[in-house]
Each structure stands twice: as structure tokens, then as C-alpha cells.
Structure 1
């Protein structure tokens, strides 16, 4: 799976960074596109990155501040103009339904597809199917704000048909028994153990995408042992007091959470407009002094999980 950042600025866009939004591309995993946050101009950023609104499957919002929200009306209504529409699920803190209904009504807009809105008020599992589970936990910000833990379930062992053929084993009516892990006796007397002809279990990936927050236990829980952690780093370490006052984290805060959670990799985003891309090295080096495997996201950067 690939994670592409469409916007990485905090509060307001800059000439170098759009506001918060990122896409998790799960098409290879037989899903669609999952959008996390939707700041203004998100649909333009999607076009530039060559992602289709028609492929959107789920939109997750961390909270309802404008820099994470104001692109949503355009995304939803433009999607209505497309062919081959599919249902869309929107997961966000309570209040999102009122926001969408109000915008649709006063702008005389409409939606031509099924929109399933799930409003969050407390920690819960917000999505689960045979392949993925997504858990949400309340973080610590100035307004209700959630982080998401995306868990790809382990792929169970499968029968290795090629190996069976190589050993001249015609399983025939024994196929289902072998799939269940049983030991069978073939017509020619050979005893076949299913475990000898199974592929290895493929461990699923885990990632955490956190919204705006000061350091808290929920962040550590969501990020525990993940392959990739996305954490805001609004300010440099010297501005820690300012960050905390406004409900945000610093570079060192993000790195400390990654270390405490035993995450494998940290990507920092939600960077204050006070910083240009020329400041990236300074910000990354601050974080790396605590957690070595740290990177900073820029608009359109893609990370493979």
C-alpha cells in the first residue's frame, strides 16, 4: 500500500504546501482510495497527483477545523458529476452530518450516490472487513480530534499448488481437507501433511495516522508497533510552549511518541507556515536526535508501507 500526501501545511496553505490531506492507495489490496482529511483544494491536489475522485471509497476526518475540512464540499459534489459512481463512507467527529447537510442545502447542490456518514463521539472500531480493521481513538486537541490505526489482517497460509504438482500429488477430493490443515492418505498409500504444502502466513501491515494533538497516551496506543506513523509536527522544539498552548506537537514530541510506541518509521506533517521547505533539514534533524528513522512529508511525496 502507498500513502501520498496531498497537503502538509498547518492552518493555512503556503506557496509550497497545501493544507492537510493524504491518500492511502489500497487498489492493489482490492480496495479503493482512502482519504484522510480534506483541506481546501484537495480535489485539485488529487488531479495533479492523478487520483480519481471516482475511486474514493472512504473519507476519514480527524477533526472539524477548517484546514482539515474545507475541501470536503467540493470533493463530494464534484464526485456527483462523474460516471460509474459507487457508495462512499464518511467517518468524522460528530457535527459532520450537520455541516454536509447545511452546505448542500444553502449551495443548492446535490449528491447522486449513497453517502454513509459515521459520526464519532468516542473510541471505537470504525471499519472492518475480511482484509482491514480501522480503530479510532480520541486525541488531545482544542476540539474533538481522532487518530486512526489501520490494521491489515494477516493473510492465512494457502495451499501451495505448484509444490503439490512438483511432487506429483493429485489432491482431487482431498483438496478441502488439505485446506483445513488435515493430514490425508492418498490412494497410493502416501501420507501427506497439509503443513508441508502450505505457504507462509503473510503478516499484515499496520499504520497510524494521527490528527492534531499534544502528546498523549492515545497516540502511543494507536502507534504501537506500527510500520508507519504519521504524526503532526507543527513547531520546532524551541516553540514547545506555543505548540502545547494551541493543542499541537513539536518535532521532538512526534519523535518521542514514535520511540515510545516502538514504531518502525515516522513521517512528520502539518508543518507551520512559518517554515519553508528550506527548513526541512533542521526539523528532521531535531526529530532524528530522538528517533532516527524520521522523515518529513512534502506535498505529493509518496511512502510505501
Structure 2
């Protein structure tokens, strides 16, 4: 099967973007998705974005997110920005504000000037069973407006703040992201039994009250140069702990994201707004083997 694709990135988080509206991909296997994402034998990417027709009347498009390992996930912040650039560059829409269906929710995306895209990521999910996160037998500590949990691993124990942005995150504050053992402890946190659906492990270094540095070990992909939902989760965790004030500039290895969020005293959080770049790298076609 021959497949047409576009290679894109959002702050270094790279994607294969595929028009599934005009190409029939119903028979694609998990092994074939892994082949496409493989950096040695395929195209290479952190994740694959598959554009489809929506299933709900209030959306103009739907897209699915497939990890480097072929698994499917619920949400991707950097990918959502690439989606906007893709559908506009491909003349699939002429609108600058687009409503798109992802998993079981609806996102509002807006193209801005200078190649930037703003995404309304919705309200963060802090309800532990919905994240999902099981704190049974874990030591806990209330910090300002949230509760942190001590997560034991074979490489030590780490205080984390659980947050979901449509996908689960475990955010920890570190002294230095350069010295944090991301590649060593990231997989241990990702597969920790307290997170039954696995988790993205975030390592946040606070520079000042409106600036952080961040590294994220993503569920199913490993460490990426940037993670949009990870940036949102980190800022939410920092604001809940009284460490940050909105808006917050998030510096990742791949670039800068701006995250805005207000914690409401009634215990309900406003929607998280994320602004960042999205760029097309190249286009092509590839023969996908039967796997």
C-alpha cells in the first residue's frame, strides 16, 4: 500500500500527519504504524496524527494519535497545533478557528500570526480515578491546593503531582532538568502500578514564578523534545502548589510554549490555553509493507 504523508513538528515534537479522509487506512495494523514511526526503517516520528471525518455534529474534523510504539492515546498538545497547520495548508478548511474531535472531547484551535497556534486544552482533570491514578499505600503530602504523592521505584522515591490533560501525567519538581535522570526513572514512572493506563513522566525545573524548564518521558514514545500536554500539566501542578503564576513560559529542548491557566478558588480550574509553533518539514509518499 502506498501512503501519502506530511512530516511536521511542534517545538521539536515531530509527527507524521496523514489525511485519512481521502485515503483508506482501515486495514492498517499496529506493526505498520510502528514501521512508519521507526527512525531507521520508516519515516520516523514521536507520534502519528491521523485526520478523519468527525463522529459528532459540533466538530469539523477528528484526529487520532498513534504513538511511536503503535499504541493509541487520547490527547497531544503539540500535535493539535500541527493539525491546524495541516488542514489549512491542505485546503481542507479556510477557517482560522477550528473545532476538532479527539478521543472523547472537543478542542478549539486557533491559528495566530507568525506560525503560532493557540489551543484551548480544556480544564485539567484532578479527580484521581479519572486520571487514572490509584494512591493506595502511597505516602501523601498536601501542598497548597493539591496533594502530592511519594512514588516508590527501584531507583528511589519521587514526589509527584498527578494531573490529566486528557492523558495522564506525573509531574515532579527537580533542581535541574539537565541533571535529572529522565531516561533512567522515566520508564519506571511510566509503568508504575499506581497508574493503570501508564503515565507521562514530567520533570519540571522552576526558574521563576512565570518561567520553567521541562523534560517529559512520554508514555509509549520515550523522551521527546517537547510535550504540549506535559507543559500544560506541569504548569497546572506548579500553580496548584503555589509555585507559579499564569502565564508561564515553558522552555523545552525543542522550543518555547506559553501556558495560561487560572485556578479558581471554588476548586474548579479554568480551561488551559496553550500557544506555540507548528511547522511543516517535508511531504512524501511511502510503500507500507504488509506486517
Coarse TM-score class (shorter-chain normalised):
under 0.3
Structure that is richer in strand per residue: 2
Higher Cα Rg: structure 1 or 2?
1
TM-score scaled by length of structure 2: 0.26
